[in-house]
């Protein structure tokens, strides 16, 4: 038998994922700043591209959190 769809903690899970993603962006920016002269241009570009995708994910998380909160009220 399938488990019932329990969405009661979705907003909290999304908020945690958002915070983790923001932390990953900060850590990679710190890495870039600390190792600017030591990394290749390709590695720098890859990290910056990944941060761009992370920022897009954050926008999605915020939208999903807003939806979850409005549906739970």
* pLDDT tens-digit profile, the chain (73 residues): 666 666 778 999 999 999 999 999 999 999 999 999 999 999 999 999 999 999 999 999 999 999 988 877 6
Q: Can you give the pLDDT at residue 5?
A: 65
pLDDT for the residue 8? 74
**Per DSSP, which regions of the chain are E strands?**
none
Rg, C-alpha atoms of the chain? 17
DSSP string, 45-61: HHHHHHHHHHHHHHHHH
* Residue 9, pLDDT score: 87
Residues 6 or more apart whose CB falls under 8 angstroms from that of 44 comprise 32, 36
pLDDT score of 22: 98
């Amino acid at each position: 038998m399938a488990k019932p769809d329990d969405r009661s903690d979705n907003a909290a899970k999304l908020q945690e994922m958002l915070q983790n993603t923001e932390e990953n962006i900060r850590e990679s920016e710190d890495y870039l700043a600390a190792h600017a002269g030591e990394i290749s241009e390709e590695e720098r570009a890859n990290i910056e591209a990944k941060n761009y995708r992370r920022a897009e994910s954050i926008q999605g998380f915020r939208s999903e959190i807003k939806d979850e909160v409005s549906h739970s009220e």
